């Protein structure tokens, strides 16, 4: 059974979308894959409770407990590996995980580390994507599911969604519409990876 580990920092709405897709589409039977754990860097992340209610193992590894990113990422990598139970390395899905990962962590999970970003990459990498899209006068915005590399938000694009930027949009209203599409394209991208054997 292929293990999937989801990393979150907050409410985990994309995590929930992934869990629901895995349940409704029976990823275990169809693709031999199961969501093994949800890990957060914040103990107060609301998504942890939701995952526990679904019977999914959860764990908190607080970044504030470590003196630097390298040591935090080392502990995180150990936790991720333990979720696989000694089997092949798990697929690691970033779902609102608000930490920039070190090159070492990225290299350890190369090809199996996926993220969803709230812009049409390569436009608007980093933070404040919706404010920046509106300020730039964009007529369209969207979201991107991509592989994670050592360069922030520059990995190979797996899926994208497009939404119009409306004349009366502010960052909050645009973000809500983009987030709704993230919930569609993230499970779709993972499903395609599982069908292709994670290639």
| Angle between helical axes of 171-195 and 13-24 (0-180°, round to 10) | 40
Active-site annotation holds for 117? yes
Tokens encoding 102: 């070190």
3-state class percentages of the chain: helix first, strand second, coil last, to nearest 5 = 40, 20, 35
Q: At what angle do helices 46-53 and 13-24 cross, to 10 degrees?
A: 20
Rg (CA), the chain: 16
d(CA 14, CA 63): 21
Q: Which of 109, 69, 78 is nearest to 92 (CA)?
A: 109
Which backbone phi and psi does 158 adopt, to 5 degrees? -105, -40
State which H helix or E strand residue 163 sits in.
strand 157-164
The residue annotated as part of the active site, out of 63, 109, 117, 130, is 117
The catalytic residue positions are 117
């Amino acid at each position: 059974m292929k293990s999937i580990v989801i990393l979150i920092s907050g409410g985990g709405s994309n995590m929930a979308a992934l869990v629901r897709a895995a349940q409704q589409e029976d990823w275990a039977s169809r693709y031999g894959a199961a969501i093994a754990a949800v890990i957060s860097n914040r103990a107060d992340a609301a998504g942890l409770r939701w995952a526990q209610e679904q019977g999914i193992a959860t764990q908190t590894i607080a970044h504030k407990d470590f003196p630097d990113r390298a040591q935090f990422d080392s502990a995180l990598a150990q936790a991720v590996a333990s979720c696989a139970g000694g089997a092949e390395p798990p697929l690691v899905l970033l779902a609102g995980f608000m930490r920039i990962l070190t090159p070492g962590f990225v290299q350890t999970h190369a090809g199996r580390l996926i993220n969803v970003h709230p812009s049409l990459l390569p436009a608007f990498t980093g933070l404040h994507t919706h404010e920046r899209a509106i300020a730039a006068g964009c007529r369209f915005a969207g979201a991107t599911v991509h592989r994670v590399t050592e360069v922030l938000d520059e990995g190979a694009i797996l899926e994208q969604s497009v939404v119009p930027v409306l004349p009366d949009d502010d960052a909050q209203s645009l973000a809500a519409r983009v987030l709704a599409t993230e919930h569609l394209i993230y499970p779709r991208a993972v499903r395609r990876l599982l069908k292709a054997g994670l290639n």
